[in-house]
Structure 1
Amino acid sequence: MKFEHSHVLTQLPEQFFASLVKKVNQKLQEGHDVINLGQGNPDLPTPDHIVEEMKNAIADPENHKYSSFRGSYHFKKAAAAFYQREYGVKADPESEIAILFGGKAGLVELPQCLLNPGDTILVPDPGYPDYWSGVALAKAEMEMMPLIEERGFLPDYSRLSSDVKEKAKLMYLNYPNNPTGAVATSDFFEETVSFAKENGICVVHDFAYGAVGFDGHKPLSFLQIEGAKDIGIEIYTLSKTYNMAGWRVGFAVGNASVIEAINLYQDHMFVSLFKATQQAAAAALLSDQTCVAEQNAMYESRRQAWITACREIGWDVTAPAGSFFAWLPVPDGYTSQEFSDLLLEKANVAVASGNGFGEYGEGYIRVGLLTSEERLKEAASRIGKLNLFDKKALTTDFNNGIIQNNL
């Protein structure tokens, strides 16, 4: 007997990355050497000292019991100490921090915590596709905020109609940005706080790539802006900062009423994270951060290797300012999907098609800098052999942002 799925499940958006994985796996099964730059899964292991803390925590029988409903005070206190140390932001561990089963879980939960069916949420376009999942589950309505290159991939609130501003109750932002690699300025965040206060909108800043900034610039926390905690929260995941993607651990910090809504929802959905995971996560936040600095330097080196290699084949691309993604224009005559399919079929290079991130992603592809510099250079070389670009090489001075044609 086959049972029908609920209306909620049938209305969920298609999982964008599932189709990409299927295509890549097919090529691998055919025996091809695929360089997969299409996903956002960190390629390095979790640092040893965090793994050792986890081993010790697993061996403690006290951690084999049910966790406290709203999580370990030790972990929440560590999260508060982390924000104070890294960003100068004070947060009360009990009322202003909620433990999450990874950043994605929090992002998908939040519309169900704060919205009623038919309510409006402002969502970046292009943006992380799983934002849409939470909206669908809440039966809410999305209003897309275009992110265009001319504005540094920052939304323009003046483009929103007065009707949309009045209806909107929630807004998602994400800087450093997935997929564009753009970063936010303090002026933009200040504008956001004013806009949200004026219109009664709760801001959720997805700070997944908060540890990955380039050219000597540390990404801004939204909560560093005066008044930000009054109108919003920030979601932080340990997946990228500490290569703990498979551990599924993160936290939300900020406005106490929103934190309470998350905790109340999770009281009914879960008990809490495995206590050993929380113990290891606290150790990651409180321990020496040399591993984070070294990792950031590695991503910056990969960025330089990739952008330089692309320019050497004549591909006029812009270096990302943050995150471990590069957002690249497709050649004339191709859609994003056509170009992505071509690279996989003819060069055995997998990338994420920009249209999978929204309407305004059309015309771009996303590349993850999540393999060695050698493989990144090899990927660019394979693409170059397709003869899609003007053969005059382009070079970039990463320190001064100077772009030159080598004629």
Structure 2
Amino acid sequence: MGERMKKSWRSDRLSQLGSSIFAEVAEWRKQAASNGRDIINLGIGSPDKPPTEAVRKALSEAALRTDAYSYPGTHGSAAFRGQAAAWMDYRFGVKLDPDHELVSLMGSQDGLSHLAMSLCNPGDVVIVPNPGYPIYTAALALAGVEPYLLPLKEENQFLPDLDSVPDDVWQRAKFILLNYPGNPVSAVVDLAFFERLLAKAKEYGVLVVHDAAYSEMAFDGHEPPSILVVPGALEGAVEFHSLSKSFNMAGCRIGFLAGNREAVGALRELKENIDYGVFGAVQEAGVIALQEAMSASAPPKAGVLYEKRRDSFIEALAAAGWIVEKPKATMFIWAKLPKRSSGEAWTSRAFAQELLAQTGVVVIPGEAFGSEGEGFVRIALVEDEARLLVAARRIGEFLGC
């Protein structure tokens, strides 16, 4: 027999799905652990606290029912959609039709990864932030869509210069995607920014997609607005919300997209062909979480915990010799790299790798989030205060302070 033809069973587009840094950091972590390091993982933004007792009870009781295991339906249960719409009204004053302007998701990443497939054709352009959450560009690669990377720079408070986007890009773009409060950049915006953004996008018929996964994790009295509260926003915008971080339900995988009914309907139509929706018991737990947030005895917002951690950790870092700007929201610190003791500059990859090898503290190199992330690292406040103080002490020793 002749030699068998060799074919690759790996798609070329897998290499476009995002930075390999996350896989590299996982390997660095394994190596450090094998060398006896006590690992303090401040890399992945997964909440370390559970949902409230009422949410856990609702989930467990629903999961025990014998009628809980049929297909839940792609649109999401009427109860969850209705409660999500009620919460949007309560929290932001946004009134939505839960049957046409809201669709449930298996976490906001489910929607983010599929939105371009439902709205765009191959060769279309989408404007995304740089640095930005990796799924933003990965989703475009899956859809065969061309990204236009919009720089978020420190000198602009990590806000985009909308007027810097060339006219031909605006004309070709299907949507622009932004994220405030942001990940990895913990920046915030006011309603005036959303008004300018919507006006600019409307000029060119571009949909605005806002990822608001961290809306309940703001500090110092700031209350992040919804873009949908701007008059006329439902004509040209959609917004993602997630229960993962706000309600400590990351493993449950539940969120929703709200806003323009054509765009919401397109995503719903795509999902009708690829999945059967969120497990019903999880949706019931989500209803309870949203109801609790609207009650007179509502538990503290997630931001209360992370603000306290932020203050303790950044003060400890300063005492250790690394001055880092305090974020105004999210569970992340976007930290500008210090100088080496020699005075030379670190790369974000070298800093994260050496820090982990020598101290066991895991942070994510800024380059994992795009070229504009070089010179920074992302630090997740996902350990209790005592462990964060240990991490700060180790970092100080690493820096030779």
Q: TM-score, normalised by structure 2?
A: 0.93
Q: CA 1:291–1:241 in 2, change beyond 3 Å: closer, same or farther?
A: farther
The partner residue of 1:326 within 311, 333, 339 is 333
Counterpart of 1:301 in structure 2 is 308
Q: Distance in 1 between matches of 2:388 and 2:139?
A: 34
Q: CA deviation at 1:18?
A: 2.5
Q: CA deviation at 1:55?
A: 1.4
Counterpart of 1:152 in structure 2 is 157
Of 75-84 and 289-298, deviating more is 289-298
Matched, 1:355 2:355: no
Deviations 1:353-375 (Å, cap 9, x if unpaired)? 01111111111111001111111
Please tell me the residue identity of whatever aligns with 1:360. E
Give the alignment's Cα RMSD to 1 decimal.
Answer: 1.6
Counterpart of 1:246 in structure 2 is 251
The partner residue of 2:285 within 274, 280, 283 is 280
Counterpart of 1:232 in structure 2 is 237
The partner residue of 1:176 within 175, 178, 181 is 181
The partner residue of 1:365 within 377, 385, 395 is 377
Of 263-272 and 1-10, deviating more is 1-10
Q: Distance in 2 between matches of 1:354 and 1:5?
A: 28
* Contact 2:310–2:326 (CA under 8 A) maintained in structure 1: yes
The partner residue of 1:25 within 9, 30, 37 is 30
Q: Distance in 2 between matches of 1:99 and 1:43?
A: 24
- Mapping 1:65-214, distance limit 5 Å: 65-214=70-219
Q: CA deviation at 1:105?
A: 0.9
Q: CA 1:358–1:186 in 2, change beyond 3 Å: closer, same or farther?
A: same
Counterpart of 2:224 in structure 1 is 219
Please tell me the residue identity of whatever aligns with 1:125. N
* Contact 1:17–1:39 (CA under 8 A) maintained in structure 2: no
The partner residue of 1:264 within 269, 274, 278 is 269
* Contact 1:47–1:291 (CA under 8 A) maintained in structure 2: no
* Contact 1:16–1:129 (CA under 8 A) maintained in structure 2: no
Q: Distance in 2 between matches of 1:36 and 1:106?
A: 27
Please tell me the residue identity of whatever aligns with 2:52. P
* Contact 1:313–1:381 (CA under 8 A) maintained in structure 2: yes
Q: CA deviation at 1:10?
A: 4.9
Q: Distance in 2 between matches of 1:113 and 1:304?
A: 42
Q: Distance in 1 between matches of 2:362 and 2:172?
A: 40
Q: Distance in 2 between matches of 1:3 and 1:338?
A: 33
Q: Distance in 2 between matches of 1:294 and 1:157?
A: 32
Q: Distance in 2 between matches of 1:288 and 1:170?
A: 31
Q: Distance in 1 between matches of 2:123 and 2:356?
A: 40
Q: CA deviation at 1:71?
A: 1.9
Name structure 1 gaps, 5 residues minimum.
390-407
Deviations 1:280-320 (Å, cap 9, x if unpaired)? 11111112466652532111110000111111122121000
Q: CA deviation at 1:11?
A: 4.2
* Contact 1:193–1:227 (CA under 8 A) maintained in structure 2: no
Deviations 1:129-180 (Å, cap 9, x if unpaired)? 1111110010110111111112111100111111111111111111110012
* Aligned residue pair count: 389
Q: CA 1:22–1:2 in 2, change beyond 3 Å: closer, same or farther?
A: farther
Of 187-196 and 61-70, deviating more is 61-70
Deviations 1:163-222 (Å, cap 9, x if unpaired)? 111111111111110012111111211111101101111111111111000001111111
Deviations 1:306-362 (Å, cap 9, x if unpaired)? 111111122121000100101111123211111111211222211010111111111
Query: RCO greater where, 1 or 2, for CA within 8 Å and sep 6 or more?
Result: 2
Q: Distance in 2 between matches of 1:97 and 1:265?
A: 14
Deviations 1:248-292 (Å, cap 9, x if unpaired)? 111000000011001100000012211111111111111246665
Of 77-86 and 341-350, deviating more is 341-350
- Mapping 1:375-390, distance limit 5 Å: 375-388=387-400
Q: TM-score, normalised by structure 1?
A: 0.92
Q: Distance in 1 between matches of 2:324 and 2:74?
A: 48
Q: Distance in 2 between matches of 1:16 and 1:281?
A: 33
Q: CA 1:57–1:232 in 2, change beyond 3 Å: closer, same or farther?
A: same
Of 357-366 and 65-74, deviating more is 65-74
Counterpart of 1:346 in structure 2 is 358
